[in-house]
């Protein structure tokens, strides 16, 4: 479990730009995400399927506030980009009950705007 968390953190550490404090915080969140998925399904980041990400966003992060869910969504999105699973990000963002996509937790169509700052 701890090894899976370390793998998740190292994935982001290699690909994220920015200040060291922001990268450290995101790596801590990535470790939490990876460890929770490991506890439930016993699979590491390289073995994930879309259902594992859906489970985490719907059930694994259900006890978090809306702003924390949003932060975890952003980190999960960065993990998926590091894993080269770009199509999963679109599938997760377009789900009908995607309350994690916005900090306000309002459900609705996403507006086209400035592209995300991704690695």
Q: Where are the domains of the chain?
A: 2-93
Residue 111 has pLDDT above 60, yes or no: no
pLDDT tens digits for range 22-75: 778 888 898 899 999 999 999 988 899 999 999 999 899 989 988 898 889 989
8's tokens:
């998740």
Name the pTM for this structure: 0.78
Give the contacts of 115 (CB within 8 A, at least 6 positions apart): none
- Distance, CA of 68 to CA of 85 (rounded, Å): 23
- Distance, CA of 90 to CA of 82 (rounded, Å): 15
Please tell me the predicted confidence (pLDDT) of residue 70.
Answer: 86
Cβ atoms of residues 110 and 93 within 8 Å = yes
Of 56, 15, 17, the C-alpha closest to 34 is: 56
């Amino acid at each position: 479990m701890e090894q899976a968390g370390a793998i998740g953190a190292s994935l982001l550490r290699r690909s994220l730009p920015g200040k060291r404090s922001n990268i450290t915080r995101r790596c801590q969140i990535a470790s939490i995400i990876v460890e929770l998925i490991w506890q439930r399904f016993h699979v590491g980041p390289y073995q994930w399927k879309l259902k594992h990400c859906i489970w985490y966003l719907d059930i694994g992060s259900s006890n978090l506030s809306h702003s924390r869910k949003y932060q975890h969504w952003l980190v999960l999105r960065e993990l998926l980009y590091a894993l080269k699973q770009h199509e999963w990000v679109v599938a997760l963002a377009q789900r009908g009950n995607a309350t994690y996509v916005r900090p306000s937790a309002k459900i609705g169509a996403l507006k086209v705007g400035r592209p995300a700052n991704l690695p």
